Amino acid sequence: MKINFITDDEYLNHDTGPSHPENIERYKVVKSLLDNSYSNHNFIKPRAATIEELSLVHDKEYINHILNSIPLDGYFYFDPDTICSPNSLKSYLFAVGGSILAFEDILNNNYLKKNCSYFCAHRPPGHHAEISKSMGFGVFNNVAISAVNALKHPQVNKILIVDFDVHHGNGTQHFFENNPNVIYASSHQFPYYPGSGDLNETGCGNIFNCPLDANTSSKDFRLMFEMNIISKINDNFDLIYFSAGFDAHHKDPLASINLIDEDFYWVTDIVLNKFGGQVPVISVLEGGYDMEGLKNGLNNHLMALSEYIKNE
């Protein structure tokens, strides 16, 4: 089997300006890696999410606010970090719709109960987006919406979401913290933006946070991830999501965690070794703002996904 990549050049049209960390260059770096190293894999074009699909997670009043705030020219600031431009809306809708499409493709190909891999190369990221609030460069929570949609299927009873972005996925945690059918596990710099993700945030027993001090080394990251996430979760899952951010890389300018390229292979591999095997995997791009760190971290993540599907 091959990795199924869901992406589109539409993401070049979500203009945030050259000085914004979440800019068009991120997509260009990802596209170059996929074109040069993964061109023999499967590529699927995303589709736009519907209002009904956005409403699986977000308030309709908030959705309308997003839709009605797209400017005719220039930029509109949903908050100091989150910017849209005249052509941003389609990227927002493709990022959500593409994440849902990954699960639809699993169903269409009878991949439930199989170890297949999808990588959604979307922008902007979404794990900070709350039910009625934009945050952290994103307006809709791509992973949360896709996971809620997947839970509607009778064969999907338990989902694992692993978020290794350097910033805690507050939006994802808050949406699922009272849902025992979804386990959310996150490693992240703490205390740091957005301020959530402490060890004592456990939801209904389904939240597993792994807070990392500034300047955490590769070795200590691995020890803490095993201690706080891998050793504590013992469920079986029908579907695994990664919120795949690469801003814990030691070169990233927006954080202070010192992961090396190979750590992104390691974290993917250790999750799949324990919880994978006859389980589909959907990975969705989140952060990563140093271009070399993004490229090399993502490549290691994808190598682990490739190894996973060789076992099918």
Query: pLDDT for 165-179, tens place per residue?
Result: 999 999 999 999 999
Catalytic residues, by residue number, are 128
pLDDT class of 310 with cuts at 50, 70, 90: confident
Q: Which two tokens stand for residue 281?
A: 């995997």
Average pLDDT of the chain, as a whole number: 97
Residue 22 and residue 289 in contact, taking contact as beta carbons nearer than 8 Å: yes
**Beta carbons of 81 and 246 less than 8 angstroms apart:** no
- The percent of residues above 90 in pLDDT, for the chain, comes to 98
Domain count, the chain: 1
Is a pLDDT exceeding 70 seen at residue 295? yes
Domain of 16, in residue numbers = 4-310
CATH number for the domain spanning 292: value is 3.40.800.20
What SS3 class is residue 268? helix
Question: What is the tens place of the pLDDT at every residue in 85-124?
Answer: 999 999 999 999 999 999 999 999 999 999 999 999 999 9
Q: What is the mean pLDDT of residues 15-25?
A: 96
Q: What is the pLDDT of residue 234?
A: 97
> Three-state SS string across 92-134, please?
HHHHHHHHHHHHHHHHHCCCCCCCCEEEECCCCCCCCCECCEC
Q: How many other C-beta atoms are found inside a 10 Å radius of the C-beta of residue 140? A: 25
